[in-house]
Chain A
Amino acid sequence: MTDRAMVDGVSPPRFSVPLELRAVAITLALGVLGYTLFPDDLAFLTRLISITLLVLSLDLVTGYCGVATLGHAAIYGVSAYVVGNACLAGHSDPLLLLLVGAVAGAVMGLVSGVLVTRFKGLPQLVLSIAVGQLVAALANKLSSLTGGSDGLSGISPGRVFGVYAFDMYGRTGYVFSVAVLMVVFVVLLRIVHSPFGLLCQAIKDDSLRARMIGARVYPRLVLMYGVSGVVGGIGGALNAINTGVVGLDSIGFERSAEALVMLVLGGAGSLWGALIGSIVFQVFEHYVSAANPFHWMTMVGALLIAVVLFAPKGLVSLGGLLAGRTASVMRRRP
């Protein structure tokens, strides 16, 4: 492998199909595993997937671009509200609703990106919080659109492909969500390995150095924010589609902060890290809060401290955790 670069131009392509196939295989396996472990609680799993998309979305800007944000749920929440309204207005095709969510997310992402990536460090963080709070406050005020503190309810999406109805057990919703996650994950793997993705990481590492190779930093960051918005928007859409309700909790500060905690837990700057962090956190929360409703936050805190102490780069850095994460994948930092 190390000698490969010296061989003249005839070595195998660096971006090989197996990486994507592996991602498909792993998400499918996780989907089946989830179904076997929680057959009676598919609602929990679909919610988990929806939040996972938010965490992946956050990873794109925080992990890959180094943007500090505590307002990312604005993207997720706005998209959920837009999708909810679209469905209530009679546009109930689930794929159409996903598209609506993606577009709403992209718009929110671009707007946030334009504002937030102008700044750096603490001002950036504060601005992201301000944007998030502003959007949450608007959601509360514009009750004709959002239902205010009651939220939107009665969202009932149509059949997937006109065939598979969303059933009361949540099976359709679950399969639908796993499929969406799989597609998004594979596309994101591609994006983070593309020249655009590499350039974003380069900007995160050293933005002056990136400028000195000719990069236009600001437009790149805004664009990545847009991509992140699409992903977060799809997450929000899944939330609305699967639960049938959208409330203020999906847009608030706590949702943003929780997503950041999950990302740090799993490992920012790695899509696998976002996936692992989101799953571990939510499964942990699910079990522990059921077993001990009063102290579960304490235990989550303890888990986080342990991770920060022993694996500061997140669970993903513990290496070989996930099947198929070979040394070569490590080097490529998916």
Chain B
Amino acid sequence: MSRPLLELRNVSMSFGGMRVNDDISFSIGKGERVALIGPNGAGKTTLVNVISGDLTPSQGAVHLAGVDVTALPISDRVDAGLIRTFQITRLFKSLTVAQNVALAVMQRKGLTRSMFSCPMDRPDVRREWERALGTLGIAHLADRQVSQLAYGQQRLLDLAIGLALEPKVLLLDEPAAGVPSEESSKIIEAIDRLPSDIAVLMIEHDMDLVFKFARRVLVLANGKLIFQGDPAEVTHHQEVRRAYLGSYADARHAS
């Protein structure tokens, strides 16, 4: 593995007195597919918030392609190719589907300063947002308002925005959760077809999907990284089993 694209060094995040992420270190290299799993409330989304820059960690550092980005604003990280999606869909609801994605394309190309032109229809821009919508099978919804979309379609659009930003590191927070099977297969397909050189960290509860997708699994429980390794081993790992059975705390007392 060459220099990691994303590296966390002893990251901790506390809210008030509560440690939601506790001394987490790992790294992800170019082209890696990593799943982040763990029970509800384990701190997975919080970790993604820290990596993406929405939260500043109480301790530790986040490195992106060898550069310490812990103190950088979100937008600088996005420029460097660190892109995320959201567990609960966040979209621009007063814009159309096409505008949601086109805006991402134009932002990446540095066109959002433009006040008078409308580069959304420039062939190079248009090709890109049409491709992102096409990849997720929602090109036919391009002119709809976001508010007219079903929830599953909104999830597809959220991912389409992510793809349009041409990530180098992509953080997916339960991309297929709560999505009807027809749409979830679209999402899985799209994730399968991501450019092979980008690094992907996916939070996912569906273990079938985890096994299919990931070559490495990180397990978070009570804010701690309790396992990292081969997906085949994860189900046999005692501590992980305990965490999922909800008796992690008891087990710790016993040992």
Contacts and interface: CB of A to CB of B under 8 A. Distances in A.
Contact of B145 (A3, A14, A198, A331): A331
B115 A196 contact: yes
B232 to A, nearest CB: 34
A206 B140 contact: no
A6 B133 CA distance: 10
Interface stretch (A22-30, A145-153, A211-219): A211-219
A255 interface: no
Given A2-B143, A194-B118, A198-B103, A211 B94 contact: no
Interface string B74-102: 11001100011010001111111011101
A9 interface: yes
A3 B74 CA distance: 36
Contacts, number: 131
B140 A2 contact: yes
B117 interface: yes
Interface centre among B73, B100, B115, by most chain A C-beta atoms within 10 angstroms, is B115
Contacts of A13: 118, 121
Contacts of A197: 115
Nearest to A192: B115
Interface stretch (B105-113, B186-194, B242-250): B105-113
Given A5-B142, A14-B120, A212-B84, A201 B112 contact: no
A215 to B, nearest CB: 6
Given A5-B139, A194-B114, A331-B143, A214 B130 contact: no
Contacts of A193: 118
A193 B96 CA distance: 12
A3 to B, nearest CB: 7
Contacts of B92: 201-202, 205-206, 209-210
A110 B103 CA distance: 25
A196 B91 contact: no
A134 interface: no
Contact of B99 (A3, A198, A208, A227): A198
A163 interface: no
B176 interface: no
B165 A214 contact: yes
B158 to A, nearest CB: 9
B78 A15 contact: no
B107 A213 contact: yes
A212 B78 contact: yes
Interface in A1-49: 1-6, 8-9, 13-15
Nearest to B53: A211
B103 A213 contact: yes
Contacts of A8: 130
B118 A209 contact: no
A196 B99 CA distance: 12
Interface in B37-85: 52, 54, 73-75, 78-79, 83-84
B215 interface: no
30 contacts: A2-B140, A2-B143, A6-B130, A9-B126, A9-B130, A191-B116, A194-B114, A195-B112, A195-B119, A196-B112, A197-B115, A198-B99, A198-B120, A199-B107, A201-B95, A202-B92, A202-B95, A205-B91, A206-B93, A208-B54, A212-B52, A212-B78, A213-B104, A213-B165, A214-B79, A214-B104, A215-B75, A215-B107, A331-B96, A332-B96
The 8 A-B residue pairs with the shortest CB-CB distance, nearest first, are: A5-B142, A214-B78, A15-B118, A209-B90, A202-B92, A211-B74, A195-B112, A205-B92
Interface of B: 52, 54, 73-75, 78-79, 83-84, 86, 90-96, 98-100, 102-104, 106-108, 111-121, 123, 126-127, 130, 133-134, 139-143, 145, 161, 165
Interface of A: 1-6, 8-9, 13-15, 190-191, 193-199, 201-202, 204-206, 208-216, 220, 227, 269, 331-333
